[in-house]
Amino acid sequence: MSSGCVKPLTMWLQVALTAVLFSLGTTQVLNQQEENCLLDSTAGCSFARSPEYMIITPRRIRPMQVFQVFVSILHMKTYQEHVYVHVSIIRDDEEYAGSVLRFDRPSSRIMQLQMPDSAQEGHYKLRVEGRLQESAMGNIWHNETDIELFNKQASLFMQMSKPMYRQGQRVHFRVIPILPNMMPKYGSMIIYIDDPTGFPVRRWQGLQTNAGGLLHLLFYGKKYF
C-alpha cells in the first residue's frame, strides 16, 4: 500500500521539477530576447523609445491662406534645455513656407504658415524638424508627410427665390462666397446668366458684396427670354 503511494508521489515530483526547469528556461530565453531588444529594436519591442512630439496639420492647403500647425512636445531629454521646432513646406528641395518656434519645456503651441500666391497646385511635403540650435543643421528628430495645394480659394453658393420661373417673372437670387474657414469672402465678382443654348443674356461687372459678404440681385425674365 505504501509502495503504491510512493510511485504517484514520485511522478508528481518529476512533473513539478520539469515545470520549474521549463519556467527557468523560458525566463532565460525571455531575458536573452530582452537583451537583444536593447541592442537592436528594429523589429519592435517593449523597450521602444516613447514618442517625443505630436504634430497635427491640415491635409489640404490653399495659396495665400494662413493655416495652423499644432505642435506638442511630449517630453524633453535631461540634456535639452530647449528645442527649436522648424516646420517647412517643400517641393523638389525648394522651401515655399517655413516657421521656427522655441520650446523651453514640454508644451503645446500653434505655428502659422502661409503659402505664396505663386505656388502651383499639386503635391508638397510638410517637414518637421527638432533642433538644439535654431541655425544648426543637425536634427535630433524629423518627420515628413504629404499635403496637397489647391488653387481654389472660395466656394460659391446660390440661393434662388423659387426652383422654377416663367417668362416675364421677376427672378430674385443671392450669391454667397465662402472661404475654407466658413467665413464670408469680400470683394468684387462677375456674374452672368446664359440661356438654354449657352448664349449670355445678362452680365454684371465688378459687383461688390455687402457688409455680410452677400450679393443680392434681381432681373426680369421677360426682357431676356
Every domain of the chain and the residues it spans:
1-48, 53-149, 155-223
Could you name the CATH architecture of 53-149? Sandwich (2.60)
One-letter amino acid identity for 224? Y
pLDDT (mean) for 171-199: 85
H or E element that contains 202: strand 200-208
Q: Report the sign of the C-alpha dihedral through residues 98, 100, 105, 107, in that order.
A: negative
Check residues 27 and 109 and name the one with the higher pLDDT: 109
Q: Which residue has the higher pLDDT, 24 or 216?
A: 216
Q: Which of 60, 56, 35 is nearest to 45 (CA)?
A: 35
CATH 3.60.10.10 fits 155-223, yes or no: no
Q: Residue 196 pLDDT more than 70?
A: yes
Phi, psi of 64 (to 5 degrees): 60, 15
Residue 109 grid coordinates: 503651441
Structure-model confidence comparison of residues 138 and 163, the more confident one: 163
* pTM score, whole prediction: 0.58
The mean pLDDT value for 134-160 works out to 84
User: Given this model, what pLDDT does residue 42 score?
Assistant: 58
Whether the per-residue pLDDT at 16 is higher than 80: the answer is no
Domains 53-149 and 155-223 equal at CATH topology level? yes
**To 5 degrees, how large is the angle CA 213–CA 218–CA 222?**
160
Q: Is 189 within 8 Å of 173 (Cβ atoms)?
A: no
- Give residues with Cβ within 8 angstroms of 107, minimum separation 6: 72, 73
CA distance 225 to 222: 6
Choice between 152 and 143, residue whose per-residue pLDDT is larger: 143
Residue 73 to residue 105: CA distance in whole angstroms: 8
Position with higher pLDDT, 44 vs 179: 179
